[in-house]
Structure 1
Amino acid sequence: MNETRLYLDTLTKPRGSLGRLEELAVQLAGIAGARPEAILKKAVIVMAGDHGVCEEGISAYPPEVTPQMVANFLNGGAAINVLARQAGADVYCVDIGVNADICHESLISRKVGKGTGNIARGPAMSREEALEAINHGIEVVEGLFGQGYRLFATGEMGIGNTTPSAAMLTVLTGIDAEQTVGRGTGIDDEGMKRKRKVVHRAIAVNAPDSTDPLDVLRKLGGFEIAGLVGVILGSAARGCPVVIDGFIASIAALTAYRLAPNSKAYMIASHASQEAGHRPLLARLGLEPMLDLKMRLGEGTGAALVFPLIDAAVLIVKEMATFDSAGVSRA
């Protein structure tokens, strides 16, 4: 990393003038153990799962939208497909907990269960199921790594998943639900009141141990959140950068960090979403987002938009002339 910093200072520009792009180049050097000079093969991993807490009326959309959107991903028609194509990335959709039977040649099936339990009435899943979902995320990364992918992004789909994410954030950080609960799919003020009550009830009913991230995940989380924890840990274990998308992906990142603190060095925060708890969550992680486009879609869309910035950081190191090679006078 230090060698890359010094090399960046020899390029034909004022020191540090490319800002976050230079920081990215330095981080990529640390991850790879070498000066970054190769464009990395990219994959967006979209984990999909349903949530029993939808029974409490906390979403503007019905649960059947989850399998419908999975079909949309597989047919290439969702926002993440469009943005990934623009970035030269491939999208892989994983059924890790959808409450439907989906058959498609491109689907990666790793179903742990048909949706989680209703966290307002009991735990989302067992500890064994949480570990299984994490391991599935690791296995998906392993498989894609074997196909030459070296840069991963976290995507998700699961109607109702901002509610468990807000509950997890409240427990893991102590931030009150008034700050962690957002509008998700676009609920009204009454829906917000109901959602906050559900989060408080879920925490009271399940009494998760805030010092045990796996306990918090299994009592309040989702199969897709657990799968993304595995994606993040698997990427770090393989020495690959992993781009964190929005609120749900970031709660997976916080969980991964609590389980394995060294994993943070491999994370790149893509954007600051409009979801209420996202900025304080990133602050607790110590990550600074690259973009702020007022997005709140999920799917990995914010992460896909950062792929070209990562490519730019690599190409600056690879192709930009030095003062000496260009015959430019230094300051």
Structure 2
Amino acid sequence: MSVDGWNTVLVLGGIRSGKSEFAESLVADAPQVRYVATAADAEADDAEWATRLAAHRNRRPETWTTEETAGDPRRLADVIASAEPHETLLVDDLGGWVTVLLDPAHQPADDTATIAELATAIRESPARLVLVSPEVGLSLVPTTPLGRAFTDALGAANRAVADACDAVVLVVAGQPAWLKPAAPRPATVPAPGSTAGIPAPGSTAGIPAPGSPSAVPTPHGPAPQHAGPQHAGPQHAAPEPAALPDVLTPTLPPEPSPAADAGTPWSAPTMALPMLATGLVIQPGMELPMPDEYAGPQAVDRLATLDVPGAGLGVLDRVVGFAAATQGTPTPVPWDSVRVLLVHGDHSGGAAAGTVPGESARRARQARAGKGALARLAAESGASLQVVDAPTAGPIETAPALTPEQVESALRHGWRLAEQAADAGVRLLVLGACGAGTEAAAAAVLAATAGAEPPAVLGRVLNGAGEYDDAAWMVRCAAVRDALHRTRRSPRGAKDVLAELGGGDVAVATGVLLGATARRLPVMVDGPVGVAAGMVSRDLAGQARHWCLLADHGGHPAVRLAADVLGLTPLLDLRLDLGEGANALAALPLLRSVLALAAALPTHPALGGDQDDEPADDEPDFREPEPDGPGPTSTEPEPADPTGWRAG
């Protein structure tokens, strides 16, 4: 179950509002559900409460399992924290949990600390999680001390859980209203007893904490746009070769890292990290900036008022909303400064089965020399190109891909790359990768973070002769299977997944996403490595995925699944397969044109725009001349008649 990529959902509602039915419908498509019941059993003389509990039990499918936490309120956080990525949990409800928490049998207890523990478990849980809670804040203040204590504790719990969840919905009289994120698609609650599914809310780019990156001019001004072939008269001249892109060389830090692998330039510490000054490191639960909550919806609403002959931009209105939210303005401008980061890192062992030895290194040298598809498209788009080397990952079927020290260094290196781009005035990052075995590593990461089956997300292997190698595909599947079996008892934290399964390229890409989020810099991800990094970064800072844009899924199954989980709807469905980074650059001119059109078009006259009855002073007059009479029309000015009469 995923609700347009949101794994944790809080369902609020009043008594008999339909909140439980709505929550159950959200997990109706899950093969198995762990139903976590928090309320205590009914007293012997409370037949009405027993009837309510029986109705809840009768609605649950036979495939669901029930788990009781009424005996110990602290156990709820443990159940959520211990859930696996492939599991689906339905907690119903937090009102019963707070009732047990305030029971004198469990006092004295630190209610605030217990609620904080629950919120932390929800925020860090890799499982699919739906929680139900009553909304009592709209009623009158209770007249008894115990009633006031309940409403205060439940209000605090609802606020903490809502902040930890990806999505929040309020059900009123059977009608759901999505509170977080804003402006979803409408949905309906099924009638009591119905098993019909609920349409998922739509993804939006607007999130709280408005803000936008400052306009930092580049040292050399905006990147020049390629003019294209020139035409002289009726004869077409041969097209001129495209200019080489601005190929960058990563700068070395002034001092080496004290880590064991300090001899490699990619492992240098990120001295520009704002959190290092306070002694913190990259860790789960970081609070990074979010795009503007209001600019995105305002920009999309503004599109309906533009003076266009047709219906508008269609699904490409999403790129306008994304650009508006990340730029913090309802009238976003095209990205004038773009940098491509190509992360080069190989994977050894069975993950690289079927690849030509040295092919990825040749692609990286080709990009550094300003040649190949990626460099040509970068030159056409006026984008700079930077190739970043990551260390070769070990064979994941037998040993970890990286050491913990290498993971830390790779994350910081990626963060520093994003900071360097932001300091240079870059407005958009394009994240790509090349390397042997990257598809298998991405499949392993998806299996660990989203509960995916490796054969379902591992694309077919195309060898150097352009033929499909199914034997190599089976070797890759076996390598991922063995890696998952080897790590079945290992933690599934973000850094653990990078060390055991991801490798250097995924770790550097994850650091890029986190650093770009910290600097309010949007990133266009492209290919399995980018979306795998998005899955890992979600557990370090959930805000990172809201700064990501996916132009085309390329027909890759891993990209399709990760995009669904992350809530990244591809803008196009061209099935481009030009290599990671090149697919995004091929779509970039279209996206720029959409933004330029949305920013330049005026409001339609029927909605208060300019009527255009009279030509502007600086525009030529194309109106037909009025005829002077039955004779031929003359465009020459007629000499004035001193008598005031016209000759005729």
Give TM-score, length-normalised by structure 2: 0.46
Q: Is the 8 A contact 2:347 2:394 kept in 1?
A: yes
Q: What displacement does 1:151 show?
A: 0.4
Which of 39, 47, 62 is matched with 2:343 structurally? 47
Query: Which letter maps to 2:571?
Result: M
Q: What displacement does 1:276 show?
A: 2.9
Q: Is the 8 A contact 1:25 1:313 kept in 2?
A: yes
Q: Tell me which residue corresponds to 2:353.
A: 58
Which of 261, 266, 270 is matched with 2:547 structurally? 266
Q: What displacement does 1:127 show?
A: 2.0
Which whole-Å deviations, capped at 9, do the CAs of 1:40-66 have from their partners, x for residues lacking one? 310110011121225x6613322x222
Q: Tell me which residue corresponds to 1:143.
A: 420
Q: Tell me which residue corresponds to 2:473.
A: 192
Q: Tell me which residue corresponds to 1:70.
A: 364
Q: Tell me which residue corresponds to 1:212.
A: 493
- SS of residue matched to 1:277: helix
Which of 278, 298, 323 is matched with 1:28 structurally? 323
Q: Is the 8 A contact 2:461 2:472 kept in 1?
A: no
Is the counterpart of residue 160 in structure 1 residue 437 in structure 2?
Answer: yes
CA distance in 2, matches of 1:148, 1:208: 45
Q: Tell me which residue corresponds to 2:384.
A: 90
Which whole-Å deviations, capped at 9, do the CAs of 1:5-38 have from their partners, x for residues lacking one? 3322221137962123322112211111113135
Which whole-Å deviations, capped at 9, do the CAs of 1:236-291 have from their partners, x for residues lacking one? 21111110101221111221223211111111012112333221221111111122
Give TM-score, length-normalised by structure 1: 0.87
Q: Tell me which residue corresponds to 1:110.
A: none
Which whole-Å deviations, capped at 9, do the CAs of 1:202-228 have from their partners, x for residues lacking one? 111233756412211110012111111
Q: Tell me which residue corresponds to 1:287.
A: 568
Q: What displacement does 1:176 show?
A: 1.1
Q: Tell me which residue corresponds to 2:116.
A: none
- SS of residue matched to 2:390: strand
Q: Tell me which residue corresponds to 2:395.
A: 118
Which of 237, 246, 265 is matched with 2:518 structurally? 237
Which whole-Å deviations, capped at 9, do the CAs of 1:168-205 have from their partners, x for residues lacking one? 11111111122022224445121222211111011112
The 10-residue stretch of structure 1 (319-328 or 127-136) with the greater mean CA deviation from structure 2: 319-328
Which of 305, 311, 316 is matched with 1:10 structurally? 305
Query: Which letter maps to 2:328?
Result: G
Query: Which letter maps to 1:68?
Result: R
Query: Which letter maps to 2:513?
Result: I
CA distance in 2, matches of 1:217, 1:181: 18
CA distance in 2, matches of 1:245, 1:52: 22
Structure 1 residues 43 and 164: alpha-carbon distance in aligned structure 2, compared to 1, 3 A threshold: same
CA distance in 1, matches of 2:461, 2:381: 26
CA distance in 2, matches of 1:172, 1:149: 31
Q: Is the 8 A contact 2:316 2:571 kept in 1?
A: no
CA distance in 2, matches of 1:255, 1:298: 22
Structure 1 residues 174 and 86: alpha-carbon distance in aligned structure 2, compared to 1, 3 A threshold: same
Q: Is the 8 A contact 1:183 1:275 kept in 2?
A: no
Which whole-Å deviations, capped at 9, do the CAs of 1:56-81 have from their partners, x for residues lacking one? 6613322x222222111111112111
Q: Is the 8 A contact 2:422 2:521 kept in 1?
A: no
Which whole-Å deviations, capped at 9, do the CAs of 1:124-180 have from their partners, x for residues lacking one? 001221121111111111112111111001011111111111111111111112202
Structure 1 residues 263 and 328: alpha-carbon distance in aligned structure 2, compared to 1, 3 A threshold: farther
Q: Tell me which residue corresponds to 2:627.
A: none
Q: State the number of aligned residues.
A: 310
The 10-residue stretch of structure 1 (285-294 or 121-130) with the greater mean CA deviation from structure 2: 285-294
CA distance in 1, matches of 2:530, 2:474: 24
- SS of residue matched to 1:243: strand
CA distance in 2, matches of 1:152, 1:57: 27
Pick the structure with greater CA Rg. 2
Structure 1 residues 286 and 39: alpha-carbon distance in aligned structure 2, compared to 1, 3 A threshold: closer
Q: Tell me which residue corresponds to 2:180.
A: none
CA distance in 1, matches of 2:389, 2:485: 30
Q: Is the 8 A contact 1:250 1:281 kept in 2?
A: yes
Query: Which letter maps to 2:532?
Result: I
RMSD: 2.2
CA distance in 1, matches of 2:610, 2:336: 27
Q: Tell me which residue corresponds to 1:127.
A: 404
Q: Is the 8 A contact 2:448 2:492 kept in 1?
A: no
The 10-residue stretch of structure 1 (310-319 or 193-202) with the greater mean CA deviation from structure 2: 310-319
Query: Which letter maps to 1:323?
Result: H
Q: Is the 8 A contact 1:154 1:245 kept in 2?
A: yes
Structure 1 residues 132 and 119: alpha-carbon distance in aligned structure 2, compared to 1, 3 A threshold: same
Please list every run of 5 or more consecutive structure 2 residues that lacks an aligned counterpart in the other structure. Answer: 1-294, 614-648
Q: Is the 8 A contact 2:431 2:526 kept in 1?
A: yes
Structure 1 residues 150 and 57: alpha-carbon distance in aligned structure 2, compared to 1, 3 A threshold: closer
CA distance in 1, matches of 2:458, 2:533: 16
Is the counterpart of residue 37 in structure 1 residue 316 in structure 2?
Answer: no
- SS of residue matched to 1:148: coil
- SS of residue matched to 2:557: coil
CA distance in 2, matches of 1:154, 1:78: 17
Structure 1 residues 263 and 190: alpha-carbon distance in aligned structure 2, compared to 1, 3 A threshold: same
Q: Tell me which residue corresponds to 2:89.
A: none
Greater relative contact order structure (CA < 8 Å, 6+ sep)? 1
